[in-house]
């Protein structure tokens, strides 16, 4: 009797599971058939039940896989991540048309399960609606107030250059991995704006935060986390998910602690940093009787985490790529150093020198283009139904603006897959801007800190090449340096070591007047 009962229950469970699967499959194909009968939707590979196109995609380098699919299905096409429909935009003209000409329709943020876990719908990068609009306005205003794009931020970056040079000098020309060091320097520039102070590179709390952020950004783009975004219930079973959740929680507590310290010493009459500005706005609203506003402690923590991580990872990783490219292609490095010597000499490089250094400017732009560190941008979502390039895209559809396809667009770049600074130089050697240069994305969701990042890249890169020549470790040839990026939400160089060989005995004098 017990065996028959167990068999009956097992049979019932299997039948129920089969019925659910059948209903899901019927729903998927019925919805697809019905919508296609009414509207012309973007084409794409045929999805499998439940799995969608997952088995047809290389999750370890998704951007390259999607570029290949665009050659089959065109610049606007559909892929399914499980049951999640996603429209991919490929090529410069298509991405620009969507993000700039249809900025409103393509301007919402798709908040994937992993990014919701990170931010709970708060902050700046992963929010929508009135909250996002208010936080964007506040962040832009506050960042500018504290020097973004002004002399004050140039002065702070130049100060940080000296700490960075001292760190490189300690290795005495021996091979070392500069990944975290570059992130320390970039992080300290944004830290002076966020917290009104910088951190020592050997500060254990600061180092731990940087290491966790570095690891989290790498893991966020891993195949297992992409699978988690499709099937969130798998989270606790995935090692990367567990590590990510721990890292984010630890860093959130550290940020809370820094904010708590700033609260204790805050003077509303003397605003020192972004945190002070936010707390002052919160206090003013509360005194006015406005309680239900976007200015609350949780939103402050997530906003700071967003800006802190974004201001570190993008710049730090681009600089890593820059030094790796210089070591691999020494003839380009030689030309940069020759221009530096001729235009700047031994004095401290200034931002105003950029206009007189077209070759160096072109090299930095080419580093950003070829490094392509955010290959799929951050996912967007349509805010309303939209007809785009003859296709109907429904409100709430996830959209991938494929930046790889823009920065490597064969119709826009003469040698899209090679390191070629001539992409940004005219026949007379003058710097030229290229519309297809879109590493900071475009439209409503373009990088808030673009001007700050561009300034940091120029000053850090030139200061390093003014003082050091970068070479592979002894016994390693330039051609053997690996340019294959590591898997991650941001494309970082694979782990490697370089030698920073001192180019001259004296470094630029410290600048105090800025």
Helix (H/G/I), strand (E/B), else coil: 472 = coil
Residue 81: φ, ψ to 5°: -100, 95
**pLDDT confidence band for 149 (50 / 70 / 90):** low
* DSSP strands (E only) in 308-451: 380-381, 386-388, 391-393, 398-401
Mean pLDDT to the nearest integer, 291-298: 86
Please enumerate, as own/partner, the contacts of 169-176 that have beta carbons within 8 Å and a separation of 24 or more.
169/500, 169/502, 171/499, 171/500, 173/499, 173/500, 173/501, 173/502, 174/499, 175/473, 175/474, 175/497, 175/498, 175/499, 176/497, 176/498, 176/499, 176/500
Q: Which residue from 359, 302, 368, 297 is spatially nearest to 333, judged by alpha carbons?
A: 359
Tens-place pLDDT, residues 449-479: 899 999 999 999 999 999 999 999 999 999 9
CB 163 within 8 A of CB 201: yes
Which comes out higher in pLDDT, residue 218 or 407? 407
In the chain, the percentage of residues whose pLDDT exceeds 70 is: 90
Number of domains in the chain: 1
DSSP state of 425: B
Phi and psi at residue 122, to the nearest 5°: -100, -175
- The answer to whether position 454 is within a domain reads no
| Radius of gyration of the chain, Cα coordinates, nearest whole angstrom | 25
Whole-angstrom distance, CA of residue 365 vs CA of residue 80: 34
| Structural domain includes residue 432 | no
Segment among 77-81, 150-154, 296-300, 302-306 with least mean pLDDT: 150-154
Per the domain annotation, does 47 fall within a domain?
yes
- Residues 296-306: what's their mean pLDDT? 94
Residue-level pLDDT at 38: 63
- Would you say residue 17 has pLDDT above 60? no
- Other CB atoms within a 10 A radius of the CB of residue 301 amount to 21
Asked if 502 and 468 touch (Cβ cutoff 8 Å), the reply is yes
More confident residue, 13 or 44: 44
d(CA 55, CA 59): 9
Q: Are strands 84-89 and 398-401 parallel, antiparallel or unpaired?
A: parallel
What is the pLDDT, as a whole number, of residue 24? Answer: 53
CATH number at residue 389: 3.30.43.20
Residue 384, domain extent: 39-110+377-407
On the question of pLDDT at 35 being above 50, the answer is no
Residue 280 included in any domain: no
Residue 152 pLDDT: 75
Whole-model pTM: value is: 0.89
Separation CA 484–CA 507 (nearest Å): 33
From CA 190, how far away is CA 197, in angstroms rounded?
9
The whole-number pLDDT of residue 504 equals: 60
Using DSSP, state whether 120 is helix, strand or coil. coil
Asked if residue 463 is part of any domain, the answer here is no
Give the orientation angle of helix 297-328 with respect to helix 239-264, to 10 degrees. Answer: 120
**Is the predicted pLDDT of residue 21 greater than 70, yes or no?**
no
pLDDT of residue 293: 83
The token pair that represents 470 in the structure block: 């970068």
pLDDT band, very low/low/confident/very high, at 431 (cuts 50, 70, 90):
very high
Q: Is the pLDDT of residue 334 over 80?
A: yes
Q: Could you tell me if residue 394 is inside a domain?
A: yes
Q: Which residue has the higher pLDDT, 62 or 38?
A: 62
Confidence of residue 242 (pLDDT cuts 50, 70, 90): very high
Contact 423, 369 (CB under 8 A): yes
pLDDT above 90: residue 27? no
Q: How confident is the model at residue 422 (pLDDT cuts 50, 70, 90)?
A: very high
Helix or strand run (H / E) with residue 76? strand 76-81
Query: At residue 14, does pLDDT exceed 50?
Result: no
State how far the Cα of 215 lies from the Cα of 192, in Å rounded to an integer.
23
Hey, is 392 helix, strand or coil?
strand
Whether the Cβ atoms of residue 226 and residue 62 lie closer than 8 Å to each other: yes
172 within a domain of the structure (yes/no): no
* Residue bearing tokens 């390191």: 419
Q: Which of 380, 411, 379, 388 is nearest to 489 (CA)?
A: 379
**Which pLDDT band, with edges at 50, 70 and 90, does 150 fall under?**
low
pLDDT-derived band at 311, boundaries 50, 70, 90: confident
- CA contacts within 13 A on the Cβ side of 168: 29
Residue 36, pLDDT above cutoff 70: no
Two structure tokens written together for 323: 């030094």
Measured distance CA(2)–CA(8) in Å, rounded: 10
Residue 435 lies in a domain: no
């Amino acid at each position: 009797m017990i065996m028959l009962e167990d068999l009956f229950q097992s049979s019932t469970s299997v039948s129920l599971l089969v019925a659910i699967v059948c209903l899901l499959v019927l729903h998927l194909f019925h919805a697809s058939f019905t919508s296609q009968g009414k509207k012309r939707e973007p084409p794409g590979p045929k999805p499998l039940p439940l799995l969608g196109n997952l088995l047809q995609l290389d999750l370890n380098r998704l951007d390259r896989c999607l570029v290949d699919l665009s050659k089959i299905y065109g610049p606007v096409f559909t892929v399914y991540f499980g049951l999640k429909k996603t429209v991919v935009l490929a090529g410069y003209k298509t991405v620009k048309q969507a993000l700039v000409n249809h900025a409103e329709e393509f301007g919402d943020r798709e908040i994937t399960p992993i990014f919701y876990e990170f931010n709970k719908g708060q902050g700046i990068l992963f929010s929508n609606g009135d909250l996002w609009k208010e936080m964007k306005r506040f962040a832009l205003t506050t960042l500018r107030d504290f020097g973004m794009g002004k002399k004050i931020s140039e002065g702070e970056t130049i100060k940080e250059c000296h700490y960075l040079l001292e760190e490189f000098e300690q290795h005495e020309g021996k091979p070392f991995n500069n990944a975290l060091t570059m992130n320390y320097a970039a992080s300290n520039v944004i830290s002076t704006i966020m917290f009104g102070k910088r951190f020592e590179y050997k500060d254990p709390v600061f180092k731990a935060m940087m290491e966790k952020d570095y690891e989290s950004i790498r893991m966020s783009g891993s195949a297992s986390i992409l699978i988690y975004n499709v099937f969130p219930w798998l989270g606790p079973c995935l090692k990367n998910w567990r590590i990510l959740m721990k890292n984010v929680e630890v860093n959130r507590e550290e940020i809370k602690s820094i904010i708590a310290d700033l609260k204790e010493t805050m003077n509303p009459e003397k605003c020192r940093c972004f945190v002070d500005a936010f707390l002052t706005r919160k206090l003013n609203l509360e005194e006015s009787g406005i309680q239900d506003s976007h200015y609350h402690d949780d939103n402050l923590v997530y906003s700071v985490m967003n800006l802190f991580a974004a201001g570190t990872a993008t710049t730090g990783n681009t600089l890593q790529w820059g030094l790796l490219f210089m070591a691999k292609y020494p003839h380009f490095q030689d030309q940069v150093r020759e221009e530096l010597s001729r235009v700047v000499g031994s004095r401290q490089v200034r931002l105003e020198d950029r206009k007189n250094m077209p070759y160096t400017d072109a090299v930095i732009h080419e580093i950003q283009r070829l490094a392509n560190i955010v290959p799929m941008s951050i996912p967007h979502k349509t805010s309303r139904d939209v007809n785009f390039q003859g296709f109907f895209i429904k409100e709430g559809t996830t959209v991938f603006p494929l930046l790889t396809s823009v920065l490597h667009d064969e119709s826009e770049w003469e040698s899209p897959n090679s390191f070629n600074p001539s992409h940004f130089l005219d026949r007379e050697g003058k710097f030229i801007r290229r519309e297809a240069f879109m590493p900071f994305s475009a439209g409503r969701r373009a990088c808030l800190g673009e001007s700050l990042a561009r300034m940091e890249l120029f000053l850090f890169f030139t200061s390093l090449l003014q003082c050091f020549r970068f070479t592979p470790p002894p016994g390693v040839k330039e051609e053997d340096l690996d340019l294959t990026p590591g898997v991650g939400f941001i494309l970082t160089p694979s782990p490697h070591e370089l030698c920073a060989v001192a180019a001259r005995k004296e470094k630029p004098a410290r600048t105090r007047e800025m």
